Structure 1
Amino acid sequence: MPFLGGSLAFERFSVTGFEAGSFGEEHLELLQQNAAGNVETASTENVHVGFLGGTHVFDQDFDLAKNLINEAVHCSVRIDTNQIPSAIRKAWLQMELNAISKDNPSGTPTKSQRKEAKEAVEQRCEVEAATGKYRKMQHFPMLWDYRQETLYFGGSTGNASGHCTDLLERVYELELRHITSGAIAQAWGSANDRYAEVDDVVPAIFVPTLPYSDVAWANEHSKVPDFLGNEFLLWLWWQQETETDTFTLADQSEITFMLAKTLSLECPRGESGKETISAESPVKLPEAMQAVRTGKLPRKSGLTIVRDGRQFDLVLQAESFGISGAKIHLEDDEEFEIDDRIDAIRTLSESIDLLFHLFCERRTGMQWGKDLGGMIQWLESAGKSNAKSAA
């Protein structure tokens, strides 16, 4: 049960449209009614998604004491598939074709023989699928936080999160939206009368000789400015190296941060590839600075943050704001119950968002010109220093 123990990894989704005043028995009953394993089929294209109690891959038991923790529902989602691997399908097809066309003068199968072979393979797939030999189960933890109106999904975005969110939306008649860096910026803009400014942002150019109009990894079908996550990590790097590692957040709490352990960078123009650096402090290494000076932007970074006396180590993905490898540091004599862990997850999530809000305020305000100029000068100065060292 990753949300209740060990290191954390999750993507977040905002929850809207859930009208209940609190979680209750009726909501657990819906989990039970849509439990994984209630429906099975031998179809080769079947994908079945259902809830689990959260303890193991066959746990179909739900109750308030077990699944309702500190105003949050903890459970999991299982995705069952029953698909013949494409490599096996191709092998079977080739075997059928070889057998059917072995006596052909040309040595190649005719059109009708190809059709016959494909039909034979489909029949074989149905027979093999019925045995359950190719059934696969994937298990993903989930924490639905009523207080923060947030779903924490213990997996990366893609088909798995899509199946999970579809199931939740259908069963509970609510709406889920992926919380990415751009989505956070837009929500902050709406709440602080800066939505127009957020809507108008375009990628900043940190190396004037290497301009670009959009990042290569951007979703061309989305107007959400997720590139702000890349700029945020670079801004933190610059702040750490030249200004400060401690900020006062909007709620007047203090946060101290440090980029550490890992750093992944990529060329926003899609020209000079990717680079991943692992070290105690990767931003201190010359190859990291050289990568940024050639126009690369951070796409993922390790972070250590301390807020309200609590330290977290984590890896932050810039665009999705997905968190992985997160560890909650405890004092040696600290009593830490499950309720405390849920609160710590909330603190971690809130801390990252508040730190990003600080960047959004500067990015859309009058201070950005000064910050951008300082970052450009920082990169240019680092280049001159490296040149002198090489000489």
Structure 2
Amino acid sequence: MSDTPYMGELTDVVLGQEFLTWLWFRSEAGNGQFRTPEGVTFGLFMEQRISVQGGEGESLETATVSGPMSELREARLGLSTGKKVNRALLRIERDADTWTVSVKAEDFQMNSLKTPVIEKDGEDDDPDAAFLEKIYLIETCLGYIDEVYRQFLTVRLAPADWQEEVKALRNWLAAGD
């Protein structure tokens, strides 16, 4: 493989970092719009909490950027020096529904998944209805993440497509400087 950023050997950690880095790029380049194979459009955005990491061993460097008004400049600068996203807070939107979830690149661990609020219609509701609705909302969110990961793998595992994607990612980084 190449020693240029974003073209490294495919280990689980690298693949996770490349996925989150690509996801940030794609969410900004495509205005956050993604589509399932069934034609369902949903938004996926990087929220104002991103951590980038680069180097190895004692030279490992991490930069975390967070804040409601942050433009994520420090994180983007880290990307331009070869760092990759190792943790991100994602916001997923479909119609009036919004989910947020924190994802770690190292092991794809998801934390703090917040689903849309479940409305209670009345006291006569089925006691299992709220639980089943919550499970449905969790599965929906995970399905959207699975779909963007599938899209990433389609590009990443095709060498020519990935080289073109890396060029586009570098142009995106240069435009943000």
TM range (shorter): 0.7 to 0.9
Partner residue, 1:205: 4
Aligned positions of 1:1-391 closer than 5 A: 205-206=4-5, 213-214=8-9, 225-270=12-57, 271=59, 273-280=61-68, 282=70, 284-307=71-94, 310-330=97-117, 333=119, 335=121, 337-365=130-158, 366-383=160-177
- What is the distance in 1 between the residues matched to 2:116 and 2:33? 19
- CA 1:204–1:235: 2 relative to 1, 3 Å: farther
Equivalent residue letter for 2:82: G
Q: Does structure 1 conserve the Cα–Cα contact (< 8 Å) formed by 2:100 and 2:114?
A: yes
Q: Does structure 2 conserve the Cα–Cα contact (< 8 Å) formed by 1:268 and 1:297?
A: no
Pairwise CA distance, 1:330: 2.0
Structure 1 residues without counterparts, runs of 5 or longer:
1-201, 215-222, 384-391
- What is the distance in 2 between the residues matched to 1:239 and 1:281? 21
CA displacement, residues 253-306 of structure 1 (integer Å, 9 cap, x when unaligned): 222011113111111445351111111265x23212211112111110001002
> Relative contact order, CA 8 A, sep 6+: which one is greater?
2
Aligned residues: 168
SS at match of 2:135: helix
Q: Does structure 1 conserve the Cα–Cα contact (< 8 Å) formed by 2:28 and 2:45?
A: no
- What is the distance in 1 between the residues matched to 2:155 and 2:3? 13
SS at match of 1:377: helix
SS at match of 2:106: coil
SS at match of 1:256: strand
SS at match of 1:295: coil
Pairwise CA distance, 1:226: 3.9
Equivalent residue letter for 1:354: E
Pairwise CA distance, 1:225: 3.5
Q: Does structure 2 conserve the Cα–Cα contact (< 8 Å) formed by 1:256 and 1:306?
A: yes
- CA 1:309–1:226: 2 relative to 1, 3 Å: farther
Structure 2 residues without counterparts, runs of 5 or longer:
122-128
Pairwise CA distance, 1:315: 0.6
Pairwise CA distance, 1:244: 2.8
- CA 1:352–1:367: 2 relative to 1, 3 Å: same
- CA 1:334–1:372: 2 relative to 1, 3 Å: farther
- What is the distance in 2 between the residues matched to 1:326 and 1:374? 31
- What is the distance in 1 between the residues matched to 2:78 and 2:62? 9
Q: Does structure 1 conserve the Cα–Cα contact (< 8 Å) formed by 2:66 and 2:72?
A: no
Equivalent residue letter for 2:133: D
Percent of counterpart pairs with the same letter? 23
Pairwise CA distance, 1:368: 2.1
- CA 1:359–1:204: 2 relative to 1, 3 Å: farther
Partner residue, 2:126: none
- What is the distance in 1 between the residues matched to 2:52 and 2:169? 17
Q: TM-score, normalised by structure 2?
A: 0.80
CA displacement, residues 346-379 of structure 1 (integer Å, 9 cap, x when unaligned): 1122221111111111212343222111112222
Partner residue, 1:4: none
Q: Does structure 1 conserve the Cα–Cα contact (< 8 Å) formed by 2:101 and 2:113?
A: yes
Q: TM-score, normalised by structure 1?
A: 0.39
Q: Does structure 1 conserve the Cα–Cα contact (< 8 Å) formed by 2:12 and 2:107?
A: no
SS at match of 1:320: coil
SS at match of 2:43: strand
Q: Does structure 2 conserve the Cα–Cα contact (< 8 Å) formed by 1:254 and 1:307?
A: yes
- What is the distance in 1 between the residues matched to 2:67 and 2:99? 18
